A and B are shown apart, each in its own frame.
Chain A
Amino acid sequence: MTRSDLAARTVSSARHRTQYWEAGPIDGPPMIFLHGWPGNGLLWHAQVEAFASLGWHCVAPDMRGYAGSSAPTTVDGYAIQEIVGDMVELHEHLGAYPAVWVGHDLGSPVAAALAAHHAARAGDLNGLLDALGVPEAILVGHDWGATHPTELFYLGAG
């Protein structure tokens, strides 16, 4: 098994179960990829494999409602606050090292909320990351949907 191979894992609590896809060294700097609506963690497989092979600990969860993760039956269960709670539990499970969060579509506001309300989970990566020459950052990516003739991929620092 090479370290870029994807492995399916789960983290469960009383409130939620998240399935996530993982690759790369578990002691590497964490990079967590959040898919949007609709999707699942495997949408990021190319990035997960690419960054894992560079030494990052890559994690791509199935967000709540999708694939191997719990699917609440109420609308309220899909509030951003609840999704952020899932990611906090996942991040804690992974060791709570400051991470680079990459979001697409609905994953983007989740990444942004993590930066705004849980800054330490996305914050100072100095020391941990200096050896690899990689930054402290929150990364938010999005595009404007299939109706737009030209897709826009944007990157913002939080």
Chain B
Amino acid sequence: MTLEQMRHGLPALVGGLELDGIGHWVQHEAADLVSVALVKFLRTVKPV
């Protein structure tokens, strides 16, 4: 499923990040990238 396909069911979707070579436990396998993505998301929905 692509990000655009997901938008049909998730109208509030604000973005996505695809990580090559990372498995299911993305927060564990790419911990720093996920934390950075969380910060970016939080700043997107409420800019500092």
Indicate the member of A39, A47, A152, A158 with the most B CB atoms within 10 Å: A152
The A-contacting residues of B in range 1-48, CB under 8 angstroms, are 1, 3, 6, 10, 12-20, 22-28, 31-32, 34-35, 37-38, 41-43, 45-46, 48
A152, B24: Cβ atoms closer than 8 Å: no
B43, A135: Cβ atoms closer than 8 Å: yes
Interface range for A: 20 to 34
Which chain A residue lies CB-closest to B24? A146
A139-B41, A143-B26, A145-B24 known; A153 and B34 CB under 8 Å?
Answer: yes
B45, A157: Cβ atoms closer than 8 Å: yes
Q: Which B residues contact A (CB, under 8 angstroms)?
A: 1, 3, 6, 10, 12-20, 22-28, 31-32, 34-35, 37-38, 41-43, 45-46, 48
